[in-house]
Each structure stands twice: as structure tokens, then as C-alpha cells.
Structure 1
């Protein structure tokens, strides 16, 4: 069984996300990457939008050169690859994971 095609869209022109879409089987994992070009933005945030509409749910975020704060580690793995890059792994896919995923970057306050 395959999950519906996932669409990844940008919240800002400064963000680049890949891949643009993923089709995976249930129980597999999917990895998304995000990069941006504003070196003073030291935080990367990941959001999920179920059904492609409605509110954004914050999955997690990571600061520059730090471990990510607590979030569902059994479901998500977030890695800060560099100041301008991050990846999000979604583990053990289920139908509820079929969604639009966004990354965003900001300055920590």
C-alpha cells in the first residue's frame, strides 16, 4: 500500500526543500531536507499540514549547533547538517503522515 503523494512547499523563497514529493509504503521511513541562505537565521523549524489545508502543526525545531529540543523521537528524527541545512526523517509511516511538510528558518530570540 502506498501513501498519497506528499507535496513539499516553501514558506519563503529563501528556503529550498527536497525532494518535491515522496511516495512510500506504510512502515517505511521518509527523509526530507531543507536549506536556506540567510546565515543569521540560526533556527530551522519543521511543520506538517494535514490534508494540504488548515493549520500548521509544529513538529520540531533545532537551533544552530545544538541538539533538538524534545519531540516525538520515536516518530521523527531531526538533524542539523550545518547552520544552513537540516533534515527530517519520518519513521514508520502511517496514513496520518500523508501531508504537506514545510520548513522555515528564523533568528532565535
Structure 2
């Protein structure tokens, strides 16, 4: 069955350190992974995306890996702040749907 996995389920780190989380999936034809975080105010904040094997992160983040089925997309938060405490989401799309990437 088609699955999307995100790990770790929870993460505790010291302020000022970096943190990594990973998204992987098994859905063929999907080769773009977008990352968001949901703040305490419930809005989704866009963090960047991995387009096949090229990352386009927002400032303060790194995104790298392989967005194809069987690959992993790694989001790195470079320097943790109190604002980093959030729920993080990955979203799958594919290169043929450019409208899914926030401008």
C-alpha cells in the first residue's frame, strides 16, 4: 500500500543545537516533498521543499535527500529556538504540478 512515513515521532533538543527529521514514502510518480511547521497559532509555516534531489529551503533550514519513492527527504533545523517547538509536516506532490509550491 502507498505510505508516507515521518520520523522521529517526537524530538527533544537543546536550544541552539540543530535537529533533523526525515520523510520517506513509497508512492511512485511522486518526487517532490514540501515541509511545513504548525505553530501554536495553528497556521502552517512553509519551510521549503525537495524537488527530486535538489533542496530549496527557507532561511535557517536545510533540505536534502531523494524525494522519489524509496528515498528520504531530510529537514534540518540549523539552530533551534523556542519558536522551533512545533508540529512538522511533510507533503508529497510531483513535479508536474507546479501550482503546489508556495510562491
TM tier relative to shorter chain = 0.7 to 0.9
Q: Give, in whole Å, the separation in 1 of the partners of 2:4 and 2:51.
A: 16
Which segments of 5 or more consecutive residues in structure 1 lack a partner in the other structure? 1-12
1:45 and 2:52 aligned: no
Q: Normalising by the residue count of structure 2, what TM-score does the alignment of the two structures yield?
A: 0.81
SS at match of 1:78: strand
1:54 Cα deviation from its structure 2 partner: 1.6
1:96 Cα deviation from its structure 2 partner: 0.4
1:56 Cα deviation from its structure 2 partner: 1.1
Q: Does the aligned pair in 1 maintain the 2:33–2:67 contact within 8 Å?
A: no
Residue 70 to residue 25, structure 1, CA distance change in 2 (3 Å): closer
| 1:62 alignment counterpart | 50
Deviation per CA, 1:59-107: give whole Å up to 9, x if none. 0011113x223521xx111012452320001011000000000011112
Q: Normalising by the residue count of structure 1, what TM-score does the alignment of the two structures yield?
A: 0.77
RMSD: 1.7
1 or 2 for the larger relative contact order (CA 8 Å, sep ≥6)?
1
1:27 and 2:12 aligned: no
2:80 equivalent among 86, 93, 101: 93
Q: Give, in whole Å, the separation in 2 of the partners of 1:93 and 1:63.
A: 25
Q: How many equivalent residue pairs?
A: 93
Residue 17 to residue 25, structure 1, CA distance change in 2 (3 Å): same
